Chain A
């Protein structure tokens, strides 16, 4: 299957700082990338959907000014957690899709574990 990478795999930061997470599709062009958040022992919650060259579409309840998403190319999307606080500590996972459709598989990155002190 296609490969999606995420960097960093884990990050620890101080409260008030910003953290950028990168998501790359390594061997395909991702029409769409998705960002999820997962708290311990819970399911994945979709935060936003991004298409290359356009603004991300955020899910209800997700602060777009806090979670900045940039999808500058067909292989790279970034999530920046601005002014991070301890409650932002979570596991962030991206996924990428080539083309669109209900048959299309989403390929997931390995995730980034964020800890805000």
Chain B
């Protein structure tokens, strides 16, 4: 079974500052993928960044970077230079090794980020 834990129900950050959203995971799969999604108040799920368990380098996508520490089973999302439009709910998710059936995403409980002036 897979489990994602996001311990920060809410976070505040000032505009232009960096913020780290925590995510820890647990899985018995030898290979897995970690995803971060952003959900604004409109409800759509916006893909932000992906990290594979065997990727040598931490993933980066523009202002988003993933601090992947495999031994600690953590995959924290770092948002640099926060913008007001970053205010949203953020979900960490994972899926395990493909076993020939559809690989399901397991979501964390989410962190609500509020960017202030």
Q: How far is the CA of A1 from the CA of B101 in the complex (A)?
A: 23
Asked if B95 contacts A102 (CB within 8 A), the reply is: yes
Which listed segment binds A: B37-45, B63-71, B75-83?
Answer: B37-45
If over half of B's interface residues share one DSSP class (helix, strand or loop), that class is named, otherwise mixed; here it is: loop
The reply to whether the CB of B47 lies closer than 8 angstroms to some CB of chain A is yes
B50 cross-chain contacts in A, Cβ below 8 A: 103, 105
Contact B44–A108 (Cβ < 8 Å):
yes
Interface size class of B (residues with CB under 8 A): 20 to 34
Interface residues in B31-76 (C-beta closer than 8 Å to A): 31-33, 35, 37, 42-45, 47, 50, 52-53
Q: How many residues of A contact B (CB 8 A)?
A: 28
5 shortest interchain CB distances as A-B pairs: A108-B45, A101-B98, A102-B33, A32-B102, A111-B43
10 contacts between A and B (CB under 8 A): A1-B47, A32-B102, A43-B108, A43-B109, A44-B91, A46-B104, A91-B43, A100-B98, A100-B100, A108-B47
